[in-house]
Structure 1
Amino acid sequence: MKTIEKSLYQTVLYLQSDPKGKKIVSKILKEKFENLIVTKSEDEAIVYFQKYQNSIELIIADIYISSKHCLHFIKTIRDVSCDIPIILFGELIEYSQLIKAIDLNINGFCEKPIKKDELSKKIDKILKCLDLKKEQRQQDIITFEQSKLNTMVEVMSNIAHHWRQPLNSIGSLMVKLEAKTDEKQLTDEDIYDVIEKTNSIITYLSTIINDFRNCFKATNHSTDVELHELFGAMLSFYIADLSYYDIDIKVHYEEQSLKNIRYSEMLKQVLMVVINNSKEAIITKVNKTSKGLIDINVYAQDGMLYIDIYDNGNGIEDEMFEKIFDPYFTTKFKSQGTGLGLYRAKILVEKHMMGYIDIKNIADGVCCSIVLPLNEIR
């Protein structure tokens, strides 16, 4: 039976000043990496790092190079990337240098003379962590794409609500046209009237498609949009859908919050997730005693922009709060939710927009707070 060998890792950068240890270290690294870059100076190592940083997965360095410690080189690396693992070699390292190395997030240290088994175990431990990170990144990509697909489904659902009445109107025109034809009362004026009204409805339907495309166009670029324009587009998007379920939506602004905002496309996607959750909570609420309401307050405070979204739907059970942002966790029935919406919203807000998102129960429903730094607001 054939065994499938695990593919080698990409590139390792080895900064060395010890000819005796070079042979041992190089042999271990060649067994684990496709490419081994060996250099004897910090300047040369920095040049190689800048050239191959996208493929370098590990850096190994002597802490002393040409009678100088290599912490300047490590700091240069950390200014660019905090993720690349680094292992240092050394002997009789000064306490102050050790503290500096720890502060620079060194992942391992080996005393000289180098022991093959010790070094190999340290490298294997680091590579195992790299594998886990790669798997997590791949899983994040998959769940993110699934969430985007769910967003598209929500968009299509809203388009359906916008199209329903115009399509019914076209249907009514066709019924009248057919009835007059059967009764042999159809005139040229009737035909032109139907054509004119149908063309008007078709133009309206085309406008809806363009509005939706502009509101939720796919882009990774940051764009500047005034907040009142952004929320105006959101209200236009939701008004027909929410009215169908007898839900009112209102937006209140403080004057100082009416700024231009970057990452507007990301914020639209986050708002869409939260508003959809509020809508579902109101629709499924038991013992309704009042009309559904989604109330959005936008204000600035202490250098931050706050967007608080309240609804009078079902609250969230206390034990669910710890998992509310986890992927695939949903408070809905399995047939109604995938558990990816809030997970994706959290990634967009915290990793891309440098803010944070929080959810809490209030007296008659739930409040979702989106907080963004004002330095991202123009």
Structure 2
Amino acid sequence: MIHLNRFIDKLGMHSPLKIVTGVTLATTLVSVLCVGIFYTLLTGTLPPVILGFSILMPLLMTPPILVIVIKLVMRLETYKNALHDEIEKNREKDMLLFEQERFALMGEMLSNISHQWRQPLNAINLTLLSAKLAKATGRLDDEALDHAFETIEQNTLHLSETIEDFRSFFQNKAPTKLLPLHQIVYELHRIITPTLEANNIALEITWNSDTIHRLQIATAISQVLLNLINNAKDALESLDQKNKQIRIAFEYPPGGDQLRICVFDNGPGIDPAIQGKIFDPYFTTKGNLKGSGIGLHMSRQIIQKLFHGTIIVSSVPGETRFAIMLPTSVYCKPET
């Protein structure tokens, strides 16, 4: 492919007439030399008829053949430019989808932050109201004041830790930056668990091997896992049932070359009629107010294009499973 590109570039620097003339003369010269040397060595003489053929044949055959080749190369150049333009359009489209997904994900995270802040802010407000009431009634002694200060300090510390968790999760993490897998999962667990607990959803994470803790992986995997968890949460939160559960299983066979990640939920399942569409861009069953329809599409793009892996879904009533297979290559590899 590189040699073809160089040939096309060089071809574009010269006019077709010059190329045909130059190659024809060169071919004729080579033909005469080769035929002359061959007949001289074989018979000691070069018959005029043979000499004429060695000159005539290149002059007659080289130009049309060369014209055909030049046209084919020119057409290849046109196809190459069209393909390049199409690739650029697709790349721009992917970047737009990626940005849209980031905004959607940030909106989801802001909702999680507001949920996690609500309780400590209420506690701080109640503590201040209690202190004002105690002061108005003359019961605000040093012990009550110390207790109020301690309660406010603990809750403000919780608010600060929540912000730090989200900042650490999103701050300056390029999609291809490698981090230990257990660190990514730990941060993900801290920011998503309170929201799940508020909806009575249990999150279980299992590992089949200590080797997984030593795996380094691109941080883009966190976006994929967060999308899958959020989708499972949305499917479970409206159900009137006990034991709602999301489970993430990491499997890495000894000596294997692939990491397997499975995300399960025990929700109602996915309708078979739409199961083949869930990875399509802008397809959503949540409605425009809650779903953007690009989360699963971007998740598949990340798995396929960044990790060169696969993601598949299987679903029956009572269990939905997303299975991800990642080869241990550049963006998923054992820690050195």
| TM class, shorter-length | 0.7 to 0.9
2:132 paired residue number: 178
Residues 49-106 of structure 1: CA deviation (Å, up to 9, x unaligned): xxxxxxxxxxxxxxx9xx9xxxxxxxxxxxxxxxxxxxxxxx989xxxxxxxxxxxxx
Which structure has the highest strand share of the two?
A: 1
For the residues of structure 2 that align with 1:185 and 1:193, how far apart are their CA atoms? 13
* Offset, 1:364: 1.1
For the residues of structure 2 that align with 1:114 and 1:23, how far apart are their CA atoms? 15
Higher relative contact order (CA 8 A, sep 6+): 2
Tell me how large the CA RMSD over aligned residues is.
Answer: 3.4
* Offset, 1:212: 2.1
Query: Cα–Cα, structure 1 residues 297 and 122, in superposed 2: closer, same or farther, change >3 Å?
Result: closer
* Offset, 1:319: 2.6
Q: 5+ residue gaps in structure 1?
A: 1-10, 26-39, 41-63, 68-90, 94-109
* Offset, 1:168: 1.3
For the residues of structure 2 that align with 1:373 and 1:152, how far apart are their CA atoms? 29
Query: Cα–Cα, structure 1 residues 18 and 132, in superposed 2: closer, same or farther, change >3 Å?
Result: closer
For the residues of structure 1 that align with 2:208 and 2:311, how far apart are their CA atoms? 20
* Offset, 1:187: 3.5
What is the letter of the counterpart of residue 223 of structure 1? L
Query: Is contact 2:266–2:320 with CA below 8 Å preserved after alignment?
Result: yes
What is the letter of the counterpart of residue 292 of structure 1? K
Query: Is contact 1:24–1:116 with CA below 8 Å preserved after alignment?
Result: no
Query: Cα–Cα, structure 1 residues 132 and 315, in superposed 2: closer, same or farther, change >3 Å?
Result: same
3-state SS of the aligned residue for 1:262?
strand
1:306 aligns with 2:260: yes
Query: Is contact 1:357–1:369 with CA below 8 Å preserved after alignment?
Result: yes
What is the letter of the counterpart of residue 275 of structure 1? I
From the CA coordinates, give the structure whose radius of gyration is larger.
Answer: 2
Query: Is contact 1:359–1:367 with CA below 8 Å preserved after alignment?
Result: yes
1:222 aligns with 2:177: yes
3-state SS of the aligned residue for 1:337?
coil
Residues 184-218 of structure 1: CA deviation (Å, up to 9, x unaligned): 43335433432332123212211221122223333
What is the letter of the counterpart of residue 9 of structure 2? Y
Deviates more, 1:188-197 or 1:333-342: 188-197
For the residues of structure 1 that align with 2:269 and 2:8, how far apart are their CA atoms? 54
TM-score normalised to structure 1 length: 0.66
For the residues of structure 1 that align with 2:61 and 2:76, how far apart are their CA atoms? 20
Query: Is contact 2:131–2:140 with CA below 8 Å preserved after alignment?
Result: yes
* Offset, 1:321: 2.5
Q: How many residues align?
A: 287
Query: Is contact 1:217–1:265 with CA below 8 Å preserved after alignment?
Result: no
* Offset, 1:120: 6.6
1:377 aligns with 2:333: yes
Partner residue of 2:108 out of 144, 154, 165:
154
Residues 103-156 of structure 1: CA deviation (Å, up to 9, x unaligned): xxxxxxx95226998877665454344333322221111111010111111222
1:205 aligns with 2:200: no
1:297 aligns with 2:249: yes
1:239 aligns with 2:234: no
Query: Cα–Cα, structure 1 residues 92 and 374, in superposed 2: closer, same or farther, change >3 Å?
Result: farther
Query: Is contact 2:284–2:291 with CA below 8 Å preserved after alignment?
Result: yes
Query: Cα–Cα, structure 1 residues 358 and 18, in superposed 2: closer, same or farther, change >3 Å?
Result: closer
